[in-house]
Amino acid sequence: MQFYIIHNDPKINASLLPDYALKKVNLREGWQILSDIGHKFNVTWEGQYAKYNPYHVLTKSFWMNKEAFDKFIFHYTYCLKEYRNRYDKETIWHKLFKFFGKDNYCILYDKISNGDIISQNLEYLLTEKRKFLTEDEMERLKKFI
């Protein structure tokens, strides 16, 4: 999974992206990242992609704290705007992002904590990797939550 951020300013970033990076990566894979963030926090909406991997290192980097989530949302929004400006048309991701809307943004924003990496890793082990853990290991790890 990829999402190119080559400049901190979302508008400049989107304008600098080559066509391939804008169309084939940031719009499509950005939607998967957003969908997986929703799955991570049990937030669903029409047009959301199926769960791929909410704990993918890139996806996780965008839900670790509110600031990172906002950075992703601003960059994704400007990629959608840049596509519209560059090609004078919209994609399926423009439509899907409208389904996502402000309500789901607010719900996710409220659910995202500014927690630490240790608690996030513990949660990941206990939920996503449970099948690899013994009962003793599960109990030992639960004590740290």
pLDDT at 89: 97
Model pLDDT for residues 75-132, shown as the tens digit of each residue? 999 999 999 999 999 999 999 999 999 999 999 999 997 766 677 778 888 888 889 9
Contact call for residues 1 and 58 (beta carbons, < 8 A) = yes
Q: What is the mean pLDDT of residues 128-141?
A: 89
Q: List the structure tokens of 37.
A: 């963030």
pTM: 0.85
CA pair distance 34, 42, nearest whole angstrom: 12
pLDDT at 122: 83
Contact call for residues 51 and 33 (beta carbons, < 8 A) = no
Question: What residues contact 83, with CB distance under 8 A and at least 6 apart?
Answer: 22, 23, 27, 90, 91, 94
Helix H or strand E encompassing 43? none
Sign of CA dihedral 105, 110, 65, 61: negative
Please, which pLDDT band fits residue 144 given cuts at 50, 70 and 90?
confident
pLDDT at 115: 65
CA pair distance 145, 115, nearest whole angstrom: 12
Kindly tell me if the per-residue pLDDT of 71 is higher than 80.
yes
Model pLDDT for residues 12-54, shown as the tens digit of each residue? 999 999 999 999 999 999 999 999 999 999 999 999 999 999 9
